[in-house]
Amino acid sequence: MIEKAPSLTETITIWGVNTIITSSEIEELIPQRLLTAGGQNEYMIKKIKYFLNDIRNKKQHKPRFAAGDLLKYIGPGLLVTVGFIDPGNWASNLAAGSDYGYSLLWVITLSTIMLIILQHNVAHLGIATGLCLSEATTKHLKPWTGRGILTTAMLASAATSMAEILGAAIALNMLFNIPLKIGAVMALIFVVIMLFTNSYKVIEKWIIGFVSIIGLAFIYELYLVDINWSVAAASWLTPSIPKGSMIIVMSVLGAVVMPHNLFLHSEIIQSRQWNIKDDKIIKRQLDYEFLDTLFSMIIGWAINSAMILLAAATFFQSNIPVSELQQAENLLTPLLGKAASFVFAIALLFAGIASSITSGMAGGSIFAGFFTEPYDIKDNHSKLGVAVSLVSALLIIFFITDPFKGLIYSQMFLSIQLPITIFLQIHLTSSKRVMGKYANKPLTKFTLLIIGSIVAGLNILLLLSMFFPIGIN
């Protein structure tokens, strides 16, 4: 049921703050298209929330850099980072390190640079327009085109959720010998409780905690091994493609940018939004968002690099190839001790849970976008989107006989859908009709097209490699 719109002069509680709003303040801070929507319009109620967080102190919102202000912006990028360190990336990174040592660290550096540019650009859309990628798709594309694209995005979200839930289930199997399907149900129940009983702000804090635990886990793992830091430093910056490594290079590069993360970032960046009518505030938001994205992606770069470093210093040195996560955990025990394998499994569990939460949120955002609505877990459309993404993922896990093949099929679909999302994003952010004066400059658009073509090409090659051998060395 649609709630009654609050009076424009009454006290409203926004994120726990009692704020008295006057008509003049509303007219100053809320876009005119929302004011004319009508008192019963649910869309108006939801969008107002993004603009009222600090209204009592709005005169202090000066476009200046300050450490305190910057810290308030840290968070959305870390939710995107979770997709950058999900269980699928673990498998690719461990294979890269165990088969080729430090040689492929440069792939992590290159993929992180591309990810920063793409994620900053899609967050740019959310800040400049007040719309997430799915809302903008519905609003600015023809109905049949927009709905078709969002349908494929929902399927991609479900495929992503399957891999994330499966990763958490594998970790529970490592830790407690719980069967995969039961572990998947347990992981899903926890994720659903987290999403349906907590606000975005609370979930953001949990995710930051999860990422911190994952980071500390790999610091501990690296403490146990002897890293050749001079070789590693050179490998981060020097491209090298050892014989037979092209498939892994494509896997690492192609798996870094994920469709659901592009939709999610454009949505959650608006949790920091104040007033999209003030150019100075928009400029400050873009600056702070970039720093949040840069900081968060560097953390993702460090964690992904740590996976390769760990595999290189243990499995590669012992001439042991690793192709599965369970195999890596089992092999760590004789090489580094039981504590190392336990910490490895704990980190994988938190990575699987955290990435399942964000993929569920992305599913809710995409589905709400069909109705030109923002993500709001209290809204039925967002709830249904979350449920479709997570429950369908669980059903797939129950019907597949080989979890490894399930991950392959998941990656296959993401390989097909990702180019659609990337070029959709470039189309929207380059359009002056959508972005106004904040549309991509020619050089930015050219850079994005190059990155999009590289990522799309690698994903297509990765897809083809699943059916045909690719003779690239």
The Cα 276–Cα 57 span in angstroms is 17
> What is the pLDDT averaged over residues 421-448?
94
Q: 48 falls in which pLDDT band (50, 70, 90)?
A: low
Percent of the chain with pLDDT over 70: 80
The Cα 454–Cα 452 span in angstroms is 5
Please answer whether residues 139 and 371 qualify as being in contact, where contact means their C-beta atoms are separated by less than 8 angstroms.
no
The pLDDT value recorded for residue 468 is 66
The pLDDT value recorded for residue 104 is 94
The pLDDT value recorded for residue 415 is 75
The pLDDT value recorded for residue 66 is 53
The pLDDT value recorded for residue 23 is 46
State pLDDT tens for residues 392-407. 999 988 887 776 667 6
State pLDDT tens for residues 268-310. 988 765 555 667 777 778 888 888 999 999 999 999 999 999 9
The pLDDT value recorded for residue 473 is 46
Question: Does residue 467 or residue 57 have the better pLDDT?
Answer: 467
State pLDDT tens for residues 186-221. 999 999 999 999 888 899 999 999 999 999 999 999
> What is the pLDDT averaged over residues 427-439?
94
State pLDDT tens for residues 372-383. 999 999 999 999
Report in angstroms the alpha-carbon separations of 24 from 29, 31, 46, 123: 9, 12, 19, 29
The pLDDT value recorded for residue 177 is 93
Q: What domains are defined for the chain?
A: 1-60 (no CATH), 66-465 (1.20.1740.10)
Place of tokens 């939710």: 79
The Cα 135–Cα 369 span in angstroms is 4
Which run of H or of E encompasses 291? helix 279-311
State pLDDT tens for residues 107-148. 999 999 999 999 999 999 998 888 999 999 999 999 999 999
The pLDDT value recorded for residue 108 is 93
> What is the pLDDT averaged over residues 446-456?
90
179-186: Cβ within 8 A, 24+ apart? 180/397, 180/403, 181/397, 181/398, 184/394, 184/397, 184/398, 185/394
The pLDDT value recorded for residue 17 is 40
Question: Does residue 320 or residue 141 have the better pLDDT?
Answer: 141
Write the DSSP string, 303-370. Answer: HHHHHHHHHIIIIITTT----SHHHHHHHHHHHH-HHHHHHHHHHHHHHHHHHHHHHHHHHHHHHHHT
Question: Does residue 20 or residue 134 have the better pLDDT?
Answer: 134
Question: Does residue 84 or residue 38 have the better pLDDT?
Answer: 84
Question: Does residue 103 or residue 328 have the better pLDDT?
Answer: 103
The pLDDT value recorded for residue 95 is 87
Average pLDDT, the chain: 82
Question: Does residue 260 or residue 62 have the better pLDDT?
Answer: 260
Please answer whether residues 377 and 383 qualify as being in contact, where contact means their C-beta atoms are separated by less than 8 angstroms.
yes
The Cα 280–Cα 371 span in angstroms is 31
The pLDDT value recorded for residue 328 is 82
For 441, list phi and psi in degrees, rounded to 5. -75, 160
Question: Does residue 14 or residue 250 have the better pLDDT?
Answer: 250
